[in-house]
Amino acid sequence: MPKVLLGAIFSATEVAGMLKRVYSIQLAAAVAMAAADLPIRDVTLYKHGVAHFSRSGELKAGEVARLDFKPEDMNDVLKSLTLTDANGGKVSGVRYDSSEPLEKRLSDFPFAVGTESALASFLDSVKGAQVELKLGADTVRGTILSARVVRETDKDRAAQKEMLVLLADSGEIRTFDLAAASAVRFTDPKLQTQLRDYLGVLNQSRSKDRRSVYVDATGAGTRQVVASYMTPSPVWKSSYRLIFAAQGDPTLEGWAIVDNTSGDDWTNVRLAVVSGKPVSFISNLYEPRYVDRPVAELAENQAVAPIVDTGAVSEKNEEKVASVARLPSSPAPMMGQAVRRGLGGAEDRAAYQVAASSVAAPVAARQAGELFEYSFSTPVTVKQGESAMLPFLQQKLTTRKLLVYSENYGMNPRDAAEITNNTGKTLDGGPVTVYDAGTYAGEALVETLPMGDKRLISYGVDLGTRVTTAFDSSRAVVREIHASRGIVTAKSAVAETKTYTIKNVDAKAKTLILEHNQRPGYSLLERKPLETTATAYRFEIKLPVSGTETVPIKEERVFDQTYAVSNITPDLIAAWVQNRSLSEAGRKQLEQVAAKKREVAANAASIAQAESSINDLTRDQVRIRSNMESFNRVSGQQEQVQQYARQLADTEKRLVALRDSQVLLERTRSTLDAELKALLDRLEF
């Protein structure tokens, strides 16, 4: 049996309605818990997808505060909800609608009310329940045996009756026509309460997009309850207008665009918008969370299974083996004093030139920790499903008009403005629409601009200025040479120059900011930049009237090359020796190494020559022996054979001398290699 939550019972009027349809909306609403709404008083919008709401209201004794939310908002509400009672009362708890499906919640009740079933069908599902019927002036009590719908047909019409069969307190079994009863009432308070709860669940299910949170507070008398929480919300957006005047600094207008998708009207709320991005995340707190637990039992509590003998399959000492197998376009600004007239003459045109909007921006700005908050002084009203555009800034801004050029722009630089944030406020990032000389000049985007910082914004293309580039490079030059234990490191540099030719064809002087891209491994020579961004150097160039300016920017790339001295030629070492950046100690050591490598090379050449000579003589011996064998088979050729014998003896003597020389050369090579190794091991400069 479910837990009883309420103690109220149905009135005769309620039961009369239930006789028609027990699941009707009117009855469900009549039994719903009385709760008071807390209006929204404060709204703060952030840039990371959440909003902070504050509700407050007066609760009389016995009232419960109710807050309604979208189901997808409940996780954030449960994570951030705070509650206070300004009159000193204490919050005793918070209750909220379950996240379980309707079918699961209704399955806990011992009966069901169908959407199209008659009262008789419902009463038949609670057989055994005790009821009380009012039939005119009489009251009948009894236990339900059954209830059914009886259809009767006569020659004129078809009709149906709802009949109830009761076991009366007197012991009689009686049948009643429910249409004749003016009221039906369960005499069991628990069953009456369960039916009330069942209908309350049905009523809640009709509002599928809302979940209610009920706040219970202790204390007598009237209470002032304040509830604050965070919910998902569209980010607020910034939109600016930069309006240049004929003289002086331009005016910067800032507008905050807000969207009310909260599900409630914002009526005369205190609204604030915050620039910054605090950390925020979703934690699943609304859905019930279950943990799988292991099943553990004591071995002594387990029954012992019987052992079934399967019989022997072999005798004596034979072994048996068992195997077991185990798983947006910018909106047009509000025209202050500007009225659009005809397009005929200069006076008409001057009348609708863009000026600063005639709006009041009563906004209190303050630094809120690492964030910046704009709080609107005038209460704001935004209906559910509507959006609003609210002015939060209108101030003069220190600005310098100039051009900016980067090579990826093509031939023409961009019209730009260098803005310095001297407003005393953090300017949230957003689009900027620029008006110059009373007309539209272009658009730009600006990132969030802290107080005192500055930015370049480009909003158009300057067709009166052209830029071309030329590139030149020099060959690598060795700057430094270092050595350690046979390894030489040569530091070389390559100089490259990119020349920008800037032609100003307009009859006015200009200032251009030239952006030269940074390249890894390259450093600037000679010219120093005005400032450096994360990806480029910026140079400020003054352009004369109808003139041309040439700007060479020289860079160099320094790189290291490493060599094993044992593997390089003496000629390369000789080139290093001639380098002016080499120290005298290094020069002497390299000269010794070069001389020793020449000795090693000469010795290797001698060994190769001796090896070649030995191979030639060995081939001669083979040829001579072959000839001797041929002539020995021919009579009368003894003299020729003797001549070959003398040649063979002479060749053998030369071979012996060469082999002796080869042995000496090999010994010399070992000595030279050891001496060279010693020089390389001592190489340090």
Residues 6 or more apart in contact with residue 114 via CB below 8 angstroms: 23, 121, 122
Instruction: Record the tokens describing residue 435, joined without a space.
Output: 């008006």
Closest by Cα among 623, 630, 631, 625 to 645: 625
* Helix, strand, or coil (residue 409): helix
Angstrom distance (rounded) from CA 604 to CA 669? 7
| Whether this model's pTM surpasses 0.85 | no
Q: Are 129 and 175 in contact (CB under 8 A)?
A: no
pLDDT of residue 355: 72
Q: Are 109 and 198 in contact (CB under 8 A)?
A: yes
Question: What tens digit of pLDDT does each residue of 444-472 get?
Answer: 999 888 889 999 999 999 999 999 999 98
Whether residue 434 is predicted with pLDDT greater than 90 in this model: the reply is: yes
In degrees, rounded to 5, the angle at the alpha carbon of residue 193 between the alpha carbons of residues 190 and 194 is 85
List, in sequence order, every residue forming a beta bridge with 144; answer none if it has no partner.
166
Whether residue 245 is predicted with pLDDT greater than 80 in this model: the reply is: yes
> What's the sign of the alpha-carbon dihedral 191, 193, 199, 201?
negative
Whether residue 353 is predicted with pLDDT greater than 70 in this model: the reply is: no
| Domains and their CATH numbers in the chain | 12-232 (2.30.30.720), 237-278+351-461 (no CATH), 467-567 (no CATH), 585-681 (1.10.287)
Angstrom distance (rounded) from CA 446 to CA 275? 14
Amino acid 558 reads V
Question: What tens digit of pLDDT does each residue of 152-164 get?
Answer: 766 555 677 888 8
Angstrom distance (rounded) from CA 427 to CA 255? 11
Angstrom distance (rounded) from CA 26 to CA 4? 22
494-497 contact pairs (CB < 8 A, 24+): 494/556, 494/557, 494/559, 495/525, 495/554, 495/555, 495/556, 496/471, 496/472, 496/522, 496/554, 496/555, 496/556, 496/557, 497/471, 497/472, 497/473, 497/552, 497/553, 497/554, 497/555
List, in sequence order, every residue forming a beta bridge with 42; answer none if it has no partner.
54, 270
pLDDT of residue 193: 83
At which residue do the structure tokens 């609708």 appear?
Answer: 352
Question: What tens digit of pLDDT does each residue of 630-681 get?
Answer: 887 777 778 887 888 888 888 888 888 888 888 898 999 899 888 888 888 8
When the pLDDT of each residue in the chain is averaged and rounded to a whole number, the result is 79
Q: How confident is the model at residue 229 (pLDDT cuts 50, 70, 90)?
A: very high
* Helix, strand, or coil (residue 111): coil
Whether residue 23 is predicted with pLDDT greater than 50 in this model: the reply is: no
Instruction: Record the tokens describing residue 542, joined without a space.
Output: 């003054």
Amino acid 41 reads R
At which residue do the structure tokens 């379950």 appear?
Answer: 98
Task: Pinpoint the alpha helices (H) of 405-483.
Answer: none
Query: For 147, what's the count of Cα atoms within 13 Å in the CB-facing half-sphere?
Result: 23
Residues 6 or more apart in contact with residue 284 via CB below 8 angstroms: 75
Q: How confident is the model at residue 136 (pLDDT cuts 50, 70, 90)?
A: confident
Whether residue 299 is predicted with pLDDT greater than 50 in this model: the reply is: yes
Q: Measuring CA to CA, how many Å separate 381 from each of 72, 227, 238, 384, 590?
A: 25, 20, 19, 10, 86
Q: Are 194 and 109 in contact (CB under 8 A)?
A: yes
Q: Are 187 and 198 in contact (CB under 8 A)?
A: no
Angstrom distance (rounded) from CA 135 to CA 12? 12
Q: Are 518 and 582 in contact (CB under 8 A)?
A: no
pLDDT of residue 237: 93
Angstrom distance (rounded) from CA 224 to CA 84? 8
Question: What tens digit of pLDDT does each residue of 505-553 get?
Answer: 999 999 999 999 999 989 998 889 999 988 999 999 999 999 999 999 9
Highest mean pLDDT among 104-118, 295-309, 584-598: 584-598
pLDDT of residue 66: 86
pLDDT of residue 103: 66
Angstrom distance (rounded) from CA 219 to CA 92? 10
Q: What does the longest C-alpha to C-alpha distance in the chain come to?
A: 169
In degrees, rounded to 5, the angle at the alpha carbon of residue 67 between the alpha carbons of residues 114 and 47 is 120
pLDDT of residue 291: 80
Q: Are 100 and 87 in contact (CB under 8 A)?
A: no
